C-alpha cells in the first residue's frame, strides 16, 4: 500500500458515507498499519478510514488504556444511554475544539482485525471516541454537529488557524482523530 496522508477539511472524501468492508484480508491489514502510523504521527487517539483517504467503514482507537490499538470494522451502535458533553478535537480539523453532546454509554457491534464478530459496552471517553469515529464513516465532522451560526464561526476560526499556522500548536493539546 502506498503511503497515505491525513485528509483535512474541506477534502470531499470527509463528506462521503463510507462503504462496508466485504472481506477482512491482507489489504485490510495493510490499511490498519498505515492508519496506525498516521494516528501516531498526528498524536491522535482515533482515526477513521476516510481521514486516511480510504472511504471504508473502519476506524482505529488507542485510548491509552493498556489494551493497545483496537480495530473496528463495519461498526454499528446498537444501544445508547445517557448524555455527556465534552470538548473534542479532530485530526481533520486541526486546531479546532468543539463542544459536543453525545451519549454517555453505548453498546456496539463490529468485526475485529481478524474479521471476528465482537460486541463491546463502553462509556465516557471511549464512548465519545467511538461516536466521533462513526460520524466520520457517515461523512459528518464536528462542524456538522452544531448550529449554523456556531458552524460559521468555527469555520472562520479554522481558516484563520490554517493561515497563521497556529493550528500546529493547538493540534497537540487534544485530538480525538
Ligand atoms: Ni475526527
Cα separation values, 10 from 44, 64, 92, 119, 128, Å: 19, 29, 9, 33, 23
Distance 129 CA to ligand 1 centre (A): 9
Buried b (16+ CB within 10 A) or exposed e, 67-77: eebbbbbbbee
Task: Name the residue among 168, 170, 75 with its Cα closest to residue 127.
Answer: 75
Tell whether the model's pLDDT for residue 41 goes beyond 60.
Answer: yes
Q: For residues 88 and 57, is the Cβ–Cβ distance under 8 A?
A: no
The CATH T-level fold of domain 12-146 is: Peptide Deformylase (3.90.45)
Task: Calculate Rg over the CA atoms of the chain.
Answer: 15
SS3 of 171, please? helix
Residues 66, 76, 48: CA angle, nearest 5 degrees: 60
Domains in the chain: boundaries = 12-146
Question: Could you tell me which of 156, 104, 101, 142 has the C-alpha nearest to residue 126?
Answer: 104
Instruction: Determine the pLDDT at residue 133.
Output: 98
Å from CA of 132 to ligand 1 middle: 6
70 pLDDT above the threshold of 80: yes
Q: What is the pLDDT of residues 131-147, one digit of tens each?
A: 999 999 999 999 999 99
Q: What spacing in Å lies between the alpha carbon of 84 and ligand 1's midpoint? A: 18
Rounded-to-integer distance, Cα 32 and Cα 48, Å: 10
Which of 49, 177, 72, 58 shows the shortest CA–CA distance to 125?
Answer: 177
**Which residues does the annotation mark as catalytic?**
133
Q: Provide the pLDDT confidence category of residue 163 given band limits of 50, 70 and 90.
A: confident
Ligand 1 center from residue 115 Cα (angstroms): 24
Mean pLDDT of the chain: 93
Report the separation in Å between the CA atom of 33 and the middle of ligand 1, taken as the mean of its atom positions: 18
Amino acid at each position: 500500500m502506498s503511503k497515505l496522508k491525513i485528509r483535512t477539511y474541506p477534502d470531499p472524501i470527509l463528506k462521503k458515507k463510507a462503504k462496508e468492508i466485504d472481506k477482512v484480508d491482507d489489504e485490510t491489514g495493510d490499511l490498519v498499519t498505515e492508519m496506525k502510523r498516521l494516528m501516531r504521527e498526528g498524536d491522535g487517539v482515533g482515526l477513521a478510514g476516510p481521514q486516511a483517504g480510504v472511504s471504508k467503514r473502519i476506524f482505529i482507537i488507542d485510548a491509552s488504556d493498556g489494551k493497545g490499538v483496537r480495530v473496528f470494522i463495519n461498526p454499528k451502535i446498537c444501544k445508547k444511554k445517557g448524555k455527556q458533553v465534552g470538548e473534542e478535537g479532530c485530526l481533520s480539523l486541526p486546531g479546532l475544539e468543539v463542544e459536543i453532546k453525545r451519549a454517555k454509554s453505548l453498546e456496539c457491534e463490529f468485526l475485529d482485525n481478524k474479521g471476528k464478530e465482537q460486541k463491546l459496552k463502553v462509556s465516557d471517553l471511549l464512548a465519545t471516541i467511538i461516536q466521533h469515529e462513526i460520524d466520520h464513516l457517515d461523512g459528518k465532522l464536528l462542524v456538522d454537529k452544531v448550529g449554523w451560526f456556531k458552524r460559521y464561526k468555527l469555520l472562520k476560526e479554522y481558516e484563520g488557524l490554517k493561515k497563521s499556522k497556529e493550528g500546529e500548536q493547538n493540534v497537540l493539546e487534544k485530538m480525538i482523530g
